[in-house]
Amino acid sequence: MGVPDALRRHLLLSSAALFLGMGSGAAFAQTRSSIPSSSASRATGKAAAWHGRATEAQRKGLHKGAVQKTVTAGASTGPVKKAGHRRPKYVSAHGVQSLSVHASHVSRAAELVVPKSVMKEYVPGTSPYKALDRMPGVSFTSTDPFGIDSFGANLYVRGFFMNQLGVTLDGIPLNDQTYQSVNGLSLASAIIPDDIGSVTMSQGGGGVDVASTNTLGGTIRFTSSDPSDRLGGKVSQAFGSYGSYRTYARFDSGRLNESGTKFYTSYARTDEGMWEGKGDQFLQQVNAKLVQPLGERSKVSAFFDWTDLQQQNYPDLSLGMINNLGWRVPHLYPDYKKAYQWAQQCNNSPDNFMAYPGSNGQVNACQMPYYDGGQHETNFLGGLNLDLALTDHLTWHTTAYGHAQSGNYSYTAAASAASTDPDLQVATPNGVPLYQEVWKNSQQRFGITSSLDYRWGHHRIDTGVWYENNNQTAGLYNYLEPELGAGAPVKAVGPYGVYGPADRVYNFRWRTNVVQTHLQDTYTIRRGLTLTAGFRSLISQTSGGGHENDDSWAALDAGGLPSGSLHATGAFLPHFNLDWRLNRQNEFYIDVSKNMRAYEVSGTGVANSLFSVPNQQEFLRQKAQTKPARAWTYMGGYRFTSSIVQLDATVYHSTLMHELLAGARGTMFNPISEEFDFGRISMTGANGSVSIRPLPGLVITNTLSYNKGTYDRDVTSSAGNYYPLKGKNIVNYPAWMYKTSISYTWHGLNAHFDANYFGKRYYSFMNDTSIGSYWLANTGVNYTFRKLAGVRDLTVSFNVYNLFNNKYIAMMGENNNPPVGDYQSLERGATREYFGTISAAF
């Protein structure tokens, strides 16, 4: 006689509950044991293996009556008592989800975990980098409140920029996180924030097992959440200032069969109204994930992401423009007539210092932001993860992935046919003084990572390989704009060929191949004392360059556009980590690493690439002199954890060698690029974080960061200009940062407030221009009804970003920094905005 369906479902749920109950013992066993910092984020993928270890711990009775300590920066949970599986005291839906077979929410050694309680305090759809900004030493700012505009967003960690950090998602390398990159994928386009399961950031140089061409200053690992064992889903709807709204819906299949097959699919749409001028910033995404257990200790999973991003951007400004034209200087969209007339002035007298009304005679017509600017980017990302327990001691992990991207990045420029500067002589066939400049980029990346993890006595040996092939293109095309009254102007997000085919200026093609291998051993010297030692070897080769260009361009440049091959090789890039857990409350750790970044790939213009120089002659000259950037990072830290106080303090020193950066002079429409090999940059600093819980549900966190970053030598640029930079401070990153936050949770209610202080930031390499310090505060409140009208976890929230409506510069150097003085390469941060959200699970 068959088992009734209802009884079968009851038995499955009971089995799952029993498994999770046993898993809580595993979480304790892993917390008590030493976890190598470079492998901590793999805990999720190795859940079954840890479950086996937990069973052994249970047989020894280690889990009975034990107390688990969760160590996170700003965490809102206290000790979790395991005896009798009673409900943990002070744990709520807003606490860190530490009751799991994973230890992915436990900060260990030189890695920090961003608590999910912190991520939930932001408006759904907000970039996880904003939550990361709560951590000491991290600076994330953006022109839009959600942080999804890649042109106006920047992230720094201990002085290292976002293109110097190794970023992965489910083991897939995201590589360069900057705008218009042809070697990576921005996090905003890689995954819907609601579907992120965990975020882990290294405090030191990062682990050798991270697949990345960009790792210099550390690593950030993201993992996607797994499908729920329960049939159901979630929906949320947010509304905000300037007509903004955001929709999210997710469906979870639950366990479909006895083997545990399950999946989810989700959709998100974000429409951000622009706080300055007119326009829209639109982003829609689809995510899907399938998980198939293979027996008790292995599994295979697949992840998919599709993104359609169509965003108008905020204009680039200079200090002079802000000081003389006021704080809000928008693009002229949708006033095409005014943009047309201003461009005519520039076209008639481009070489005269011609002032605009209100500029006090300080701003040239050809410097002004014209009609429009924006980007339209489409991405497909897919990954297949295989985690196999081959024996009780040997596991095999493999990730195969593919990423395809096509992007158009544009702005409306003035046609200056009368200019005496040949680089500005742009005459449109229809005589219109405006045209649309469009950079067309694409990349197709395919790769695989594979590693073996072997446990032998007190050793845990991990070795693996990563290979990636990337086919990249980057071109510049000019499109016609209409005469006044002859039709609607070209949109910044396209279509572009409305009034005729493009005039191709240039086009680049490259092929990049990357091979990385690693080997490391984690040795448990004694109980609580662990040494991790390993190294990685990285080889990156890029071949190609300019292969199509306008004849007049070729005539101007010696030897045509840059073309050739670049090789970056690091045979021995070591990493050492010593972690000493003196007792349950005190932990000391030391981390030392050497890293290398592959050469950046970008077309002609103002970019940090050898391919960005004006011609082949200059490319060959600099290639002979330039080396790939390398960095040594030394870090030491102490962590204290109790039921009331959590403290984390680190000191560090980084030496960055042969970092290649570009300086920019001239105007935005006629930039003059100078490449710099800085030779040596030193950064010495300290980070501290203290979190106290004086009352149940109340958490107060304060962090303080200091960084003294300087250029260590004088330099001569590719243009032959000499700059005495020795002793000058690094640009764009503040020496001092202070952050405070307070969060209170009572039953279903959570209220929170945070404020960040950012110190002075230098703008020019010579430090003669700078941006002053500022405060930025946010607040919010949410309430969750556990069960209401048949709906579970109905949450209503209200958030205010930039609570005090402070004026500040968010992005610096998007068109690179000036060597001296001022340049049109600044973007302002978002004004105060309000958001209300309602979400429900079913």
* Tens-digit pLDDT profile for residues 106-149: 455 678 888 888 889 999 999 999 999 999 999 999 999 999 99
Q: Quick one: which of 172, 121, 110, 179 has its CA closest to 148?
A: 179
For 40, residues 6+ apart whose C-beta sits below 8 A from its C-beta are 103, 104, 106, 108, 109, 111, 200
- Give yes or no for a contact between 642 and 692, defined as CB atoms under 8 angstroms apart: no
SS percent in the chain: helix, strand, coil, step 5? 15, 50, 35
**For 49-53, 171-175, 177-181, 317-321, which range has the lowest pLDDT when averaged over its residues?**
49-53
Please tell me the distance from the alpha carbon of residue 66 to that of residue 586, in angstroms, as a whole number.
Answer: 17
pLDDT band, residue 613 (cuts 50/70/90): confident
Give residue 251's pLDDT.
98
* pLDDT given at position 664: 74
Q: Please count the CA atoms within 13 angstroms of the CA of 805 that sit on its side-chain side.
A: 5
Q: How far apart are CA 460 and CA 519, in angstroms?
A: 11
Q: How many CA atoms lie within 13 A of 464 on its CB side?
A: 23
Question: Do 106 and 65 contact (CB within 8 A), yes or no?
Answer: no
For residue 191, pLDDT beyond 80: yes
Q: How far is CA 325 from CA 144, 318, 411, 636, in A?
A: 21, 10, 21, 47
With a CB cutoff of 8 Å and minimum separation 6, the contacts of 424 are: 350, 366, 416, 669, 670
Scan for tokens 């310090």, then name that residue.
773
CA distance 211 to 466: 7
| Range of weakest confidence among 426-430, 636-640, 819-823 | 426-430
Is 105 a residue whose pLDDT tops 80?
A: no
Segment 615-636 mean pLDDT: 92
Is the pLDDT assigned to residue 553 strictly greater than 70? no
Phi, then psi, of 39 in degrees rounded to 5? -120, 5
Tell me the pLDDT band of 644, cut-offs 50, 70 and 90: very high
Q: How many degrees, rounded to 5, is the angle at CA 665 between CA 767 and CA 418?
A: 155
Top pLDDT among 369 and 622 is at 622
Which DSSP letter does residue 363 get? Answer: S
Instruction: With beta carbons less than 8 A apart as the criterion, state whether 467 and 496 touch.
Output: no
Query: Strands of 111-113's sheet, edge to edge?
Result: 111-113, 196-202, 219-224, 166-169, 172-173
Report the alpha-carbon distance of residue 123 to residue 799 in Å, rounded: 7
Q: How far is CA 556 from CA 422, 547, 553, 671, 690, in A?
A: 9, 16, 5, 16, 59
Q: Is the pLDDT of residue 6 over 50?
A: no
Report whether pLDDT(97) > 60. Answer: no
579, 34 Cβ separation under 8 angstroms: yes
Mention every residue, 6+ apart, whose C-beta is less than 8 A from residue 465. Answer: 449, 450, 451, 515, 516, 517, 518
Mean pLDDT within 196-213: 94
> What is the model's pLDDT at position 661?
83
Q: What percentage of residues in the chain have a pLDDT greater than 70?
A: 81
Give residue 525's region: left, alpha or beta (phi > 0; psi -120 to 50).
Answer: alpha
How many whole angstroms separate alpha carbon 468 and alpha carbon 443? Answer: 12
* pLDDT 10s digits, 445-458: 999 999 999 999 99
Per mean pLDDT, which range of 405-409, 542-546, 658-662 is the poorest? 658-662
Count CA within 13 A, CB hemisphere, residue 49. 22
Across 3-11, average pLDDT: 42
Q: Which amino acid is at 609?
A: S
Residues 357-380: tens digit of each pLDDT: 444 445 566 656 578 999 999 999
Question: What is the value of pTM for the model shown?
Answer: 0.85
Question: pLDDT band at 101, cuts 50/70/90?
Answer: very low
Tell me how far apart the alpha carbons of residues 101 and 26 are, in angstroms, rounded to a whole number. Answer: 6
Q: Tell me: the pLDDT tens digits for 50-65?
A: 333 333 333 333 333 3
The residue among 164, 219, 211 whose CA lies nearest residue 470 is: 211
Residue 194 gets which letter from DSSP? G
- Whether the pLDDT of residue 322 is over 60: the answer is yes
Residue 407's Cα: distance from chain center in Å? 18
Which helix or strand (DSSP H or E) is residue 669 part of?
A: none
pLDDT (0 to 100) of residue 660 = 85
User: DSSP state, 747?
Assistant: T
Give the residue-averaged pLDDT of 618-631: 91
Of the candidate ranges 386-390, 411-415, 492-496, 538-542, the one whose mean pLDDT is the lowest: 411-415
Residues in the chain: 842
Please indicate whether residue 100 or residue 133 has the higher confidence score (pLDDT). Answer: 133
Task: Name the nearest CA neighbour of 587 among 53, 100, 43, 69.
Answer: 69
Q: With beta carbons less than 8 A apart as the criterion, state whether 385 and 170 touch.
A: yes
**Higher pLDDT among residues 681 and 78, named by residue:** 681
**pLDDT tops 60 at residue 422:** no
Cα(425)–Cα(437) distance, integer angstroms: 14
What is the signed CA dihedral for 495, 501, 506, 511, rounded to 10 degrees? 60
Integer Cα distance of 517 and 452 in angstroms: 12
pLDDT in tens, 710-719: 999 999 887 7
Q: Which residue has the tokens 């005190």?
A: 586
pLDDT at 574 over 60: yes
Instruction: Give a three-class secondary structure readout of 572-627.
Output: EEEEEEEEEECCCCEEEEEEEEEEECCCCCCCCCCCCCHHHCCCHHHHHHHHHHCC
Q: Which domains are present in the chain?
A: 12-841 (2.40.170.20)
